[in-house]
Amino acid sequence: MEEKYQAVFGGRIDMELSARGRKQANALAAFIQHHHFDAIYASPMKRVQQTLVPLEANRRAKPIVAPELREVDFGAWTGLSWEDVQTTFGISPFTWLEQLECAGIENAECAADFRTRLEPWLRRLLDSHHRQQIALFCHGGVIRMLLSILLEWPFSKFASIEIDYASLTHVVCHPSGARLQLVNFTPWRDLAQAERKQQ
């Protein structure tokens, strides 16, 4: 996302990707370009749509825009840095998932509403893509809520799991439940680190 929105509660601000973000998107596309997806669904927000650009040229599955995948609304915290939240509201920004769960952020989309937006759509998606490989391009808050639904873990517990920009999270869904295979793998950082170690 744009540099001025780094370390900011961006939420529903429909910002563009920064130059760094475009490089991260290119690295992500290069990593997954040979992986087959039966379907791709994506948030309508600009930063996600721009992340898809380097991937779309070589994909057979055309991304389907899913409004349900837009980022959570941070209400009064939107556009504020973590320091601003602490100073203005006297609340630790690290508790943001807990605040969403208890409607602690003025005018924000509380966790219950957030889940109500995502869960029916997710259930329909899983039913219609049984035994298929699908990709969802979305946002950190959305990924945490999807994991909360699939793994049946409390939403607030995912505050301890980092979800970086242009990262990969892999979940395998079975009738008996979901299995988390990979979380927050970043080709733009993790592969570069691995290459440096090999030198």
- Can you give the pTM of this predicted structure? 0.91
Domain count for the chain: 1
Q: How confident is the model at residue 1 (pLDDT cuts 50, 70, 90)?
A: low
What is the SS3 assignment for 173?
strand
**Domain CATH number, residue 177:** 3.40.50.1240
pLDDT for the residue numbered 198: 59
Domain extent at residue 26: 3-198
Span 29-54, pLDDT tens digits: 999 988 889 999 999 999 999 999 99
Q: How confident is the model at residue 175 (pLDDT cuts 50, 70, 90)?
A: confident
| pLDDT tens column, 80-116 | 999 999 999 999 999 999 999 989 999 999 999 999 9
What DSSP assignment string belongs to 89-156? H---GGGHHHHHHTT-STT---HHHHHHHHHHHHHHHHHHTTT--EEEE--HHHHHHHHHHHHT--GG
